[in-house]
Structure 1
Amino acid sequence: MHLQCVLKTACIRGVRAVPVEVEVVVSRGLPGMTIVGMPDAAVRESQERVRAAIRACGFTMPADKVVVNLAPSSLRKAGSGFDLPIAAAILAATGQVDAAKLREYLLVGELSLEGKVRPVPGTLSYACCAREQGLRLAVSYDAADGAPLSDVEQRGVRALGDLRRCDFAPLRFPAQDARSDAPDFGAIYGHEAAKRALQIVAAGDHGILLTGPPGSGKSMLASALPSILPPLDEEERIESARVHSVAGESVEGILSGVRPFRKVHHSTSMAGLVGGGSPVRPGEISLAHNGVLFLDELPEFSPAVLQALRQPMEQGRVVVTRADGSVELPSRFMLVAAANPCPCGHYGDPDIACRCTDLQVARYQGRVGGPLLDRIDLHVDVWRCDPASIIEGAHRTGATSEELRAGVREAREFASWRRDALGDARSRKTDDLLRCCRLDERSKSLLEAAARSMNMSGRGIARVLSVARTVADMAQSRDVGEEHLVEAVGFRVRRGS
């Protein structure tokens, strides 16, 4: 007796699902099951779950030698999502279910000992893989991290017994009606200069560092940024939702168009921030893809962890290398950082004297590192508001999120037209930026003088040009003028240091 069946499944690698074939051979020999193909501990443990689930659902476990091969053998297999395809392949090989129908599906799911199919992270990535393979997707009916995709049929399996008829119910998807819970800028009194800076950040996808004493409103300002960001478009929703799906986090808000906002604690490890582990798991910078990464108390982070941000900020992706290969993770985010100017927080404070020595201040500010600071486009000092403006704030309001959001929308619409007509200012190349900024001789002289006086690097000059182009877009100006350059240069000055 020699019975064989081959079914399709997939394995998560980074944020992508890589196709895997489950090959099962049932032949004469000592009873038992062997799984080969570089399985990890969770895959090897599936033997007992599969046996118990098959018997619990009224099927017969073959009393012969069962060999399961997960191909390609060079790819390390991890996770419990192989339970369902392994059980299905065994049942199909022994003729207990229809193999022809199951070959139409990409099967993923964990089995309980009673035969119920449990969800595993990465449903959206599995759906993308099924679409690429021209297959239908079959996962747990309770999966809550999927999304409707064109050209792929997604079905839910409640229990292993459903394989008898292969009549799976359509998969349910999360409701797409979530809204951002970010505070409104109108509730933040004063700080009009910081609001203007954050509007520029939102309009041009820039990075910003807010520096000021404790209680000055840095965290509140940063938390309000998502309230003026445009919603995710369809492609961005799928990109961001895939990352959150693989990480086992909710995708409801992402699929509703709400941009991710990740507030990271300073105790976070390098793997937690940029991604890592075995298998490789997305870090916070990938979970912030197409959204905002907020690092509060920036100097409190490990310097090594902060320096790991440099390459992702430049390239919009991070590559994690392991012995079995490299994994690429998306990481295009807006960096918003907040920092105290010194350990006690009052360096430069006009009202409270600083208790730190010059050496302590220099060490504290040096923890962030010049290369990272050079990559942050805007540097803004945030000071405490006058108590009277807070107490009487109910009678006075500054710029609201609705007003700022309208300016962001108009700037992005103008920038979209301008890219087609004049070039893309999102390029990191100075020549490309100069071409789309269209500086006149006076503006070039101004930029050169500022660069010399502030000892700007080539990257710093490019950052100034990029911010100036965004400021010009907000004014709906084809050319970058002196007033736009002056404002952009002003955001490179670190007054609190």
Structure 2
Amino acid sequence: MQRRCSVQSAALVGVEAIPVHVEVVVMSGLPGISIVGMPDAAVRESQERVKSAIKASGFTMPGDKIVINLAPGSIRKTGAGFDLPIACAILGATGQVDPRVMSSFLLVGELSLGGKVRPVPGTLPCALLARHLGLKFAVPADAEDAVPLEGLDQRQIKSLGEMRLCDLLPAHFKEPGQAPPLLDFSEIHGHAAAKRAMQIASAGEHGILLMGPPGSGKTMLARAMPSILPPLSESEALEAAAIHSVAGEPVDGILAGMRPFRKPHHSTSMAGLVGGGSPVRPGEISLAHKGVLFLDEIAEFKPASLQALRQPMEAGSISVTRVHGNVDMPAEFMLVAASNPCPCGYYGDPEKPCSCSEQAVRRYQNRIGGPLLDRIDMHVDVWRTDPGTILSSSSEELTSARLREGVMTARSFSSWRHEHLGDAERTRNVQELVASCRMTPACRSLLELSAKTHHMSGRGISRVLAVARTIADLEESETVSDEHILEALGFRMRKGA
């Protein structure tokens, strides 16, 4: 006689939780556990943890043959998160817990040998899946990425023994922590033009390259950018937090509205930057989704890794292809890059001479690659601030509050244009971008002449238009004027480029 039970669980594919049915059959035959459905080594090892946890929790481990099927069989199952659903399905099949109650939960969790339920990466995406399926969600007590979700009944589970009565208590969520202090632009002396560029980049989500000698303030300018970015909306926060949950990263700041700010080291591998591995996990560009990806010393990154950024910068997502299929992950990030102009760092410096040959300078700058540079909207030279300015006690520096006010104004005006003038919300199409600029014939001729003079590509022209449109939004202007075009060209045509 066969005894059956099925419970609902989930598997992570990229940054998404996919439904998995854990089906258990207990039948007569040689004692043992067989797991089918493309399990990896961690899932196959679960049988030892499950047997020990069941006995330690006061239940009886059946001495019959147990077959466990993880469906659908076309998806590879990874990790220890199937311990809890497998144990509950075995207990349901043997009548030690009520299988009807088990069917109302989505179960994910690792079991200790003593029966304690431990959290696994990806608690938040699994909770979102449970809400989508209309199920309750059993939250491991120590899950750092568990958050209250409207429309989802979440119950806390500490140990397998609590399933005996199937009456789990409502989940308790920790209070959100205080956001860490952010670097204010007022702490950076001088650099008025660079601060203006950072404001424009933040207002229009433009990529920006800061180039200058060592100690000129490039890194500080980049680190201050989060202080002028608008907060995440609720849907954006959940979307970004789910990615961090899969990667095992903290989600407190994101759920509090702070945009991600990722700063990978230049030794980061291509898989670490764009995502990969087995199973596929999100890289830095996905962890920077809805936020900022800061590449300090960008010329020191491996050229192949940098060129892999080109497609996600255009599409806002990354597709990683593996033998079992494609995994798509979101990657809408704002690129902020910083670099020295040459190996010694002083090429073009008016005070300190450069010791590099022209060939060495060209070779160093070419490490970034022309195609990637063409996709970065704004190129800004950053020079050292005069020592007198740094030592002065002037309070006239631009503050983050003032810069952020301009960013919010520009974004609000852009939304107004979308609603009242019919402009596209995200103008990736050149025709839509040209239409939204509403240029006069003279302004159009100015841009055309500049494009011919500087041999600009079609992408370069659209980048100039996009930056000019953002500058006009900062002034709440419906039309893009000559002054807006000239300022945008100034940010495109970097000295020495």
Could you state the TM-score of these two structures normalised by the residue count of structure 1?
A: 0.99
Residue 407 of structure 1 is matched in structure 2 by 406
2:353 match: secondary structure: coil
> How do 1:336-375 residues align onto structure 2 when only pairs under 5 Å count?
336-375=336-375
- What are the superposed Cα offsets for residues 295-315 of structure 1, whole Å, 9 maximum, x if unpaired? 000100010000000000001
Deviation, structure 1 residue 389: 0.7
Residue 72 of structure 1 is matched in structure 2 by 72
Kept after mapping to 2: 8 A contact 1:33/1:65: yes
Kept after mapping to 1: 8 A contact 2:231/2:259: yes
- What are the superposed Cα offsets for residues 249-292 of structure 1, whole Å, 9 maximum, x if unpaired? 11000000000100111000000000000010000000000000
Q: How far apart, in 2, do the equivalents of 1:328 and 1:181 lie?
A: 34
Deviation, structure 1 residue 155: 1.5
Kept after mapping to 1: 8 A contact 2:139/2:146: no
Residue 176 of structure 1 is matched in structure 2 by 176
- What are the superposed Cα offsets for residues 134-184 of structure 1, whole Å, 9 maximum, x if unpaired? 111113111110222222111221000010111212223343343243200
> How do 1:385-404 residues align onto structure 2 when only pairs under 5 Å count?
385-392=385-392, 394-404=393-403
Q: Which moved more, 1:421-430 or 1:229-238?
A: 421-430
1:326 match: secondary structure: strand
2:34 match: secondary structure: strand
Q: Does 1:447 align with 2:447?
A: yes
1:398 match: secondary structure: coil
Q: Does 1:432 align with 2:432?
A: yes
Residue 416 of structure 2 is matched in structure 1 by 417
> How do 1:47-86 residues align onto structure 2 when only pairs under 5 Å count?
47-86=47-86
Residue 214 of structure 2 is matched in structure 1 by 214
1:350 match: secondary structure: coil
Residue 310 of structure 2 is matched in structure 1 by 310
Q: Which moved more, 1:61-70 or 1:151-160?
A: 151-160
Q: Does 1:287 align with 2:293?
A: no
Deviation, structure 1 residue 397: 3.0
Kept after mapping to 2: 8 A contact 1:37/1:71: yes
Residue 230 of structure 2 is matched in structure 1 by 230
Q: How far apart, in 2, do the equivalents of 1:298 and 1:18 lie?
A: 36
Deviation, structure 1 residue 395: 2.8
Q: Which runs of 5+ in 1 are unaligned?
A: none
Residue 45 of structure 2 is matched in structure 1 by 45
Residue 191 of structure 1 is matched in structure 2 by 191
1:406 aligned partner, one-letter code: E
1:469 aligned partner, one-letter code: R
1:491 match: secondary structure: helix
Residue 379 of structure 1 is matched in structure 2 by 379
Q: Which runs of 5+ in 2 are unaligned?
A: none
Q: Which moved more, 1:285-294 or 1:396-405?
A: 396-405
Q: How far apart, in 2, do the equivalents of 1:313 and 1:237 lie?
A: 20
Q: How far apart, in 1, do the equivalents of 2:246 and 2:156 lie?
A: 18
RMSD: 0.9
Q: How far apart, in 2, do the equivalents of 1:88 and 1:491 lie?
A: 61
Distance 1:53 1:425, change over 3 A: closer
2:148 aligned partner, one-letter code: P
- What are the superposed Cα offsets for residues 78-102 of structure 1, whole Å, 9 maximum, x if unpaired? 0100000000000000000111111
Kept after mapping to 2: 8 A contact 1:38/1:75: yes
Q: How far apart, in 1, do the equivalents of 2:363 and 2:164 lie?
A: 68
1:169 match: secondary structure: coil
1:401 aligned partner, one-letter code: S
Off by >4 Å, runs of 4+ in structure 1: none
Aligned-pair identity in percent equals 61
Q: Does 1:483 align with 2:452?
A: no
Kept after mapping to 1: 8 A contact 2:415/2:425: no
Q: How far apart, in 2, do the equivalents of 1:448 and 1:32 lie?
A: 76
Deviation, structure 1 residue 425: 6.2
Kept after mapping to 2: 8 A contact 1:411/1:473: yes
Q: How far apart, in 1, do the equivalents of 2:72 and 2:126 lie?
A: 17
Residue 276 of structure 1 is matched in structure 2 by 276
Q: How far apart, in 2, do the equivalents of 1:352 and 1:123 lie?
A: 54
1:419 aligned partner, one-letter code: H
Q: Does 1:243 align with 2:243?
A: yes
Residue 162 of structure 1 is matched in structure 2 by 162
Q: How far apart, in 1, do the equivalents of 2:401 and 2:491 lie?
A: 24
Q: Does 1:299 align with 2:278?
A: no
Kept after mapping to 2: 8 A contact 1:187/1:397: no
